[in-house]
Chains A and B, each alone.
Chain A
Amino acid sequence: MKRYSQYTIEVGDLWDVSFWKKADTMDLIYIVYGLFIVILVVVSYVLGALSLLPHNPQEINLELLMAPPNTAGHLLGTDFMGRDILSRLIIGIQAYFLPGLLAIAIALTAGTIFGVLAGYWGGGLDTTTTYISNLLNSFPRLVLILLMVAAFKPDIYTIMLVVGVTNIPAVASLIRSKILFLKQKNFIEAAMALGLKSWVIIFKHILWHNCRAILIIQATLGMAEAILMETSLSYLGFGVQEPTPSWGNMVQAGANYFMQGNFWPSTAPALAILFTILGFHLLGDGLNNILEGKRG
């Protein structure tokens, strides 16, 4: 039992740092909000897939046009054709959820492969991947998709494939710089000196132990990206077409009524987009701050 001098400070004594200054607290709030949104989206997706909806999203009710929220059993009101907005919002998730997952899967898988190739083996591979990613980054994504639309009249899955492919460089460069960082810390050399096989080092030590946070964060941000893309395209009329609802075409369809002062049918899906994208962004950044220690 060692005795220490009188200045030994005990944990309980300190810290009257105000709420705002505790970066961690803020990050936790970000994450909690983000997780709430993620759960809401997933649950709604499942409900939509099982058709467990408060109303039939396609049921037209000419008696009850553009009802405000909470009228006659319509929790979020009705749109310009008397259709239940809540049900349409829930069904609207079908438009981006699976396609978004596809985009994420492509970006993460291929991004990881290219990142490892460039970072671990480096050399000519590194230069080549850099050029390819510069090339992909040269296209404004929406313009590239319009080009694809003109060329192939693709469906939403094909479009999300393009979104995924154009996201590859971002993921790859993150993985690559992480590996370079580990190299610089002689981490990889040490692992090799232990006689570990390359694939063990790559999969277990690099990807699993050091890159999973990056991948989770990128998946989160990728979903935000997918939602943005789908809503923009549906808004432009190239995505999901009326009467099948998607958040983007719901905003668009409500536009004329918006100009006449009936804000709600357009605003409800717009708010859904806002809160959902916000949730994914905050989740990604909050995780980044805590897992990758950006704010120390």
Chain B
Amino acid sequence: MKLSAIRPIALLLARELAITALLILGVSFVVFIIIYLSPGDPFGTLLKGQTTLPNAPENIRGALGTPPAWYAQYLSWLVNMVQGDFGTSTRTGLPVLNEVIRVGINTLYLTIGSMMVTLLIAVPVALFAARRGQTPVNWVLTMLAYVLSALPVFWLGYIAIYISMHHFGLFPLAFASSAQKWSWLYFMFPVLVLGLSNGTTSEVVRFLREEMSRVFSEDYIRTARAKGASIWKHSFKEGFLIPITEIIASKIPFILGGAVVVEQVFNWPGMGRMAWQAAQDRDFPLIMGITLLAAVFVRMGSLLQRFVHILVNPRASKE
């Protein structure tokens, strides 16, 4: 690639980065506003089980002084966050950032793994359908994708747990101890379950099939056939790479949502389970941290998609 071509692309990438930063800022504001408007009293919830003094919350409030105006609160929260201080969990007293990163990695593994499973199922079906049109095999596979997408993920989880208990002697609580014989299976099951029934399979099949068939009917694919070249090679970028990054990026929120349920089913120590716990405890700093991190995951996915789009597609820089 020539140097003159790199400059505008670098500018575009920088622009995407800036947009991402802006959006994350917006996310933090929305999160703040929701919590700010909440009627409850996080300290009250926390102290209920820990102290018998009737007016402990008021005393603590008094000791902390009157709260400043909302924008001041937001700004100080934001400044602290930028410096890496996300506060401490009101329940455990541990720093939120460490906690969230610790569980975030588990969730990342779960999300990426199950995305792989989904793609492993959906991509062959979609490509087959794009090339071959409607065939009985294809119809059965497409139907299967639909059924998988409608399957309640928790119920599939039960089946997986039942199998692991009765066939491999594994128990959900044993997640932490990896000494058991089949324990690696226990790392696979949640990924498989979420991958199979996160509800996106049929959409991935549909989207990829349509994009691929569209590209197959482009003029330049006809040219490729006319010179005896592989149409797969020529349709790869527009028919596969761009759509697949697009669908992955747009489905990350769904898979993260599914992760909340799957983590609950399998006792998986991830963000979703922690969010569930935090929602029950009304542990505001923690759930704010988790929501932010989840949004960052989503934005990173989109950023990746935009980067691929810009780097792969020479027309993007003209848009």
Contacts and interface: CB of A to CB of B under 8 A. Distances in A.
Interface in A152-166: 152-153
A281 B150 contact: yes
A231 B287 CA distance: 22
A147 B146 contact: no
B25 to A, nearest CB: 10
A134 B134 contact: no
A58 interface: no
A141 interface: yes
A108 B252 CA distance: 23
Contacts of A285: 202, 206
Q: Which of B19, B271, B280 has the most CB of A within 10 A?
A: B280
Interface in B248-262: 250, 252-254, 256-258, 260-261
B261 A236 contact: yes
A236 B260 contact: yes
Q: Is the interface of A mostly helix, strand, loop or mixed?
A: helix
Contact of B264 (A151, A236, A270, A294): A236
Interface in B14-44: 19, 22-24, 26-27, 30-31, 34-35, 37-40
Given A143-B275, A146-B260, A150-B279, A138 B299 contact: yes
Nearest to A275: B150
A21 interface: yes
Given A134-B23, A151-B37, A278 B154 contact: no
Given A21-B133, A147-B31, A258-B162, A252 B257 contact: no
A135 B147 contact: no
B134 A21 contact: yes
30 contacts: A20-B135, A20-B138, A131-B22, A135-B23, A138-B253, A140-B257, A140-B260, A140-B294, A141-B253, A142-B257, A143-B271, A143-B291, A144-B291, A146-B275, A148-B34, A150-B35, A151-B40, A152-B37, A237-B280, A238-B279, A251-B155, A259-B158, A259-B161, A259-B162, A259-B165, A266-B155, A266-B158, A267-B155, A281-B146, A282-B146
List the 8 shortest-distance A-B pairs measured between CB atoms, nearest first: A142-B257, A151-B38, A270-B155, A140-B256, A278-B150, A277-B150, A140-B253, A146-B279
Given A20-B138, A26-B139, A274-B150, 4 more contacts: A138-B295, A140-B257, A236-B276, A259-B162
